[in-house]
Structure 1
């Protein structure tokens, strides 16, 4: 029997547009492979109806809140419908940059020093303390929302005059933010597919860092796969990536972003449990280097995670 597959896309997060692009790329690939797949925009559809409408499986292409944070995974678990990607707990931890970093630090993995600030506090009253702690970190720093992806709401701050506005921008996207020491170096991303670590990709951008513009708009951003790391570095990065992935309890397919500093140390940036699947996306690029076509990759991801119901 041809199973009925729902591709969840769109949603209501700030990453809606990217999710729609990813979702339709996945949908078209599934249709091309002869599968019975349908697009479901969770903004306009109650996913509680998936069971009564006869869906057997879900491919999650939602990014950010409502897709990558464990909430949709919880509903699907309740409905007893298998879904792609990580489970409830690992999804909810992975979208939380601060708690992700705490777990990584507990395993001895390198991650940039940071300051965590909650909107619950009166920011005006603690601002002098924020300034003091930021000066201790040393400029430049990145100000980022704690629970956002796609580099949305992130500002690179190189002097004290820019701090207050950058904090305001980050708080417009989330109630909790991070002020993080900016690690200078080369940026790499490494994809994980099941138990397999795919070849790393080197990302070079003319921007100050790999921001939203560099990811989705700029034509000058360059991706190299193979990444140019030597065998020892690639092996070390693969070990770091799988430890970081397993520490969070992630499963299925995902991506981990790192910086290689000037002293040849890898610093973990963040994990992406529902990576993009557009024509600019990095997991398909890395898979291609292994001889895995986009259509095969989509099928591998679809059929990988039935254990999410165990």
Structure 2
């Protein structure tokens, strides 16, 4: 089977994508696959660099034109199978505003929020009802790029302006204090929970990717709490029509898990969150990549 590892892309997460892609490329089993790299520098590359002799596209893209369903739709039109969720799931999860509406409709706790596409349309009364601090971030983005922890009304406009340089909409979200956790789901099975303890004020870009930026480890929580996390993870898998794998980020406050977002193409280096979770069940990185391919094809 000829597997093309698709990496790079046009989003603000390009560097993260290249790191993921190179790790995937290095760790795919050469006894099973003929592996090639495809680095996307612009959207047209999908049509010229992903050739018709490719049997499977392993997507190591993040953010815009990676996780938003567009490249998935193009690959389907080219009849090339690919890793991870389909176009609909990808688009729903990428749009945090839409995803949170679905979570709320499904009675899954998530922090109150509003969105705006202009500094002239900021609803300060609504933000005041949340109380400060708040998070202001791109509605369709990841890796905590252009994410601001805003502590006063005076900081709101400037933060929204900066976010709108990256995205069409800025999300303003109530701050929920608590511990940060992530739940990995592979083919509908919930794997061990990972605890994230940032050395910064919150789990920002530097914490995620700098050496010693955060302590990330498998945890075994009190039984009732773990059952809540697992149930929420299974529900998210179902209501967003996920396929192959997904990562669900949460904050636990007063014993209640609040879902932050779903990542349909989470980071895939050996030290990323989902390989840590898989390793706790005896699944090494190369075997995890095999499983992602297997479940994506099934």
**TM-score bracket for this pair, using the shorter chain length:** over 0.9
Tell me how far 1:49 sits from its aligned partner.
Answer: 4.1
Q: Encode CA deviations 1:84-126: one digit per residue, 9 max, x unaligned.
A: 100010101110000000001111000000111124xxx33x3
Paired positions, count: 297
1:273 aligns with 2:273: no
Q: Encode CA deviations 1:195-247: one digit per residue, 9 max, x unaligned.
A: 2111001111132211111111151410121x141122112101101101211
SS in 2 for 1:304: helix
Which of 249, 252, 277 is equivalent to 2:244? 252
Tell me how far 1:154 sits from its aligned partner.
Answer: 0.6
Change (3 A) 1:247 1:152: same
The answer for the alignment partner of 1:235 in structure 2 is 227
SS in 2 for 1:9: strand
SS in 2 for 1:47: helix
Point out where structure 2 has 5 or more consecutive residues left out of the alignment: none
Change (3 A) 1:134 1:54: same
The answer for the alignment partner of 2:163 in structure 1 is 170
Change (3 A) 1:51 1:156: closer
SS in 2 for 1:148: coil
Alignment of 1:1-310 (within 5 A): 3-43=1-41, 46-49=45-48, 52-119=51-118, 123-124=119-120, 126-127=121-122, 130-225=123-218, 227-261=219-253, 263-307=254-298
Cα distance in structure 2, aligned partners of 1:192 and 1:53: 31
Cα root mean square deviation, aligned:
1.5
